[in-house]
Chain A
Amino acid sequence: DTEVTQTPKHLVMGMTNKKSLKCEQHMGHRAMYWYKQKAKKPPELMFVYSYEKLSINESVPSRFSPECPNSSLLNLHLHALQPEDSALYLCASSQGQGAYYGYTFGSGTRLTVV
């Protein structure tokens, strides 16, 4: 299996809702990442997990809460989002943390906050 699977593919949520994005990989990768991408912009790093521990938080607002239950799964819990949080949320994994390895990205979750 050489894929990163993200669910759901699309999500519409109200500003008072609580939802979660899920990401799964079975390549044995020990680093996993959440990126946010707005239209016509590059992916922006949000969080990095290395060996199931949070190693980088790019000063992301607390309404985004990451979780890494095991080495294959990564979640992003969403609560009280704002319309400006609407974006494509991408999960990625790599053999190890950093730029020494290519990243495998999922297809993303298209999030719309209304």
Chain B
Amino acid sequence: SQKIEQNSEALNIQEGKTATLTCNYTNYSPAYLQWYRQDPGRGPVFLLLIRENEKEKRKERLKVTFDTTLKQSLFHITASQPADSATYLCALGRMIYNQGGKLIFGQGTELSVKP
């Protein structure tokens, strides 16, 4: 079955630095990979989607890369701020025959940005 691993449960960095989060997956290669942010007690918020034929995607201070050879996605937050502190989830799409697609989430990385 598909396995998704995010590099660590927690990541602590200093304000202004670049945070880099890793998402590795096994077995089949998804056509799409997504990243979400989740604050405590809230639902996940969609950040970025990257397709298998896209190497990189950017949105403001966020950058996502997708390496289908390594089966890995990297998520970068540049010039990080304390307000970026949250749990970040990567999610992969999986197609089920006769049922359609579904999104499977990794366990998340809790990012803490210290002033």
A32 at the interface (CB under 8 A from B): no
B115 at the interface (CB under 8 A from A): no
A100 with B32: CB separation less than 8 A: yes
The 3 closest A-B pairs by CB, nearest first: A99-B93, A98-B101, A105-B43
Nearest chain A CB to B40 CB, angstrom units: 10
CB contact list, A1-48 vs B, under 8 A: 4, 33, 41-45, 48
Most buried by B among A33, A98, A100, A107: A98
Interface size class of B (residues with CB under 8 A): 20 to 34
B46 at the interface (CB under 8 A from A): yes
B61-69, B78-86, B104-112: which lies at the A interface?
Answer: B104-112
* 16 residue pairs from A and B, CB less than 8 Å apart: A42-B107, A42-B108, A43-B89, A45-B103, A48-B99, A88-B41, A92-B43, A98-B95, A98-B101, A99-B34, A99-B91, A99-B103, A103-B46, A105-B43, A105-B45, A110-B41
A45 with B101: CB separation less than 8 A: no
- Residues on A with C-beta less than 8 A from B103 are 33, 45, 98-99, 103
User: How many A residues, CB 8 Å from partner?
Assistant: 27
A114 at the interface (CB under 8 A from B): no
B residues neighboring A (CB under 8 Å): 30-34, 36, 41-46, 49, 89, 91-96, 99-108
Give A72-114 as 1s and 0s: 1 = Cβ < 8 Å from B's Cβ atoms: 0000000000000000101010000111111111111010000
- Residues on B with C-beta less than 8 A from A106 are 43
- The residue of chain B having its C-beta at the shortest distance from the C-beta of A6 within the complex is B43
Given A99-B32, A100-B32, A108 contacting B42 (CB threshold 8 A): yes
A107 with B43: CB separation less than 8 A: yes
